[in-house]
Chain A
Amino acid sequence: MVTVFIPTMLQPITGGVKQFDCEATNLRQVIERLDQLFPGIKDKLVEDGRIKPNLAVAIDGEVARMGLLEKVGENSEVHFVPAIGGGAC
């Protein structure tokens, strides 16, 4: 089972549900399953068939590189986090 952590700000849509387990092999399926159970949540996460630009998805702590095509493992944890850049030298 994949465990999806619902961001605080989307919990109104899920009626306060914070975690959600589902069967899925990639991120697209995860979001489809989420949307079946909590209609409307997909629109908050996806735009023009892609993860929203200000958002990133961390799968087992690793920021997804393949967008919705990113694979999820059998016991993966999925988190929605803000996208961030960086400065350095």
Chain B
Amino acid sequence: MPGPTHVQATINGEEVNFLCEPRQSLLEVLRDVLGMTGTKEGCNDGNCGACTVLFDGRIIDSCLVLGVEIQGREVTTIEGLATADGLHPIQQAFLENAALQCGICTPGFIVAAKGLLDEEPDADEGRIRHWLAGNLCRCTGYDKIVRAVLDAGEKMK
């Protein structure tokens, strides 16, 4: 088996260097190598969206990308959204709209919503439901999540 590879990338605005085995997914690297457990694993096969991160601004399932693939690229995870000034408007909207119950899907939804609202803050309900179709939530029935994203969009305009 080939040995670990050195990878340099930008994660949440900071340059990061790490060693990773070629078979390790980005999700595994984030959680097990870098200790960033905010990104969650629900299926490890691209079907739940709990592991959603932004990869050069586009949303991806980090379980479907290899750690070595982020060489030289930019990744944003849930840990990178809040600033010293406070929560990101989407995070705040999730709290105010009670858009999380168990919360395991929440990081994935918030990051996915950021991917949408950064480009289209005025996305309507239909657009939001389409965009979030790759993220599963078993607790909420999506109602309050969609409302939270609509609400955050208002604030991000």
Contacts and interface: CB of A to CB of B under 8 A. Distances in A.
Contacts of B102: 89
A59 to B, nearest CB: 36
A25 to B, nearest CB: 46
B5 interface: no
A89 B140 CA distance: 10
Nearest to B138: A89
B144 to A, nearest CB: 14
Interface residues of B, number: 3
B47 interface: no
B43 interface: no
Interface in B96-114: 101-102
Contacts of B101: 89
Nearest to B139: A89
Interface in A44-89: 89
A89 B137 CA distance: 13
A88 to B, nearest CB: 11
A67 B102 CA distance: 35
Contacts of A89: 101-102, 139
A89 B138 CA distance: 10
Interface string B119-154: 000000000000000000001000000000000000
B139 to A, nearest CB: 6
B27 to A, nearest CB: 26
A89 B141 CA distance: 12
Nearest to B101: A89
A89 B101 CA distance: 9
A19 to B, nearest CB: 46
A89 B139 CA distance: 7
Contacts of B139: 89
A72 B124 CA distance: 61
Nearest to B102: A89
Interface string B1-32: 00000000000000000000000000000000
A21 B101 CA distance: 49
B142 to A, nearest CB: 15
A-B pairs, 3 with minimum CB distance: A89-B101, A89-B139, A89-B102
3 contacts: A89-B101, A89-B102, A89-B139
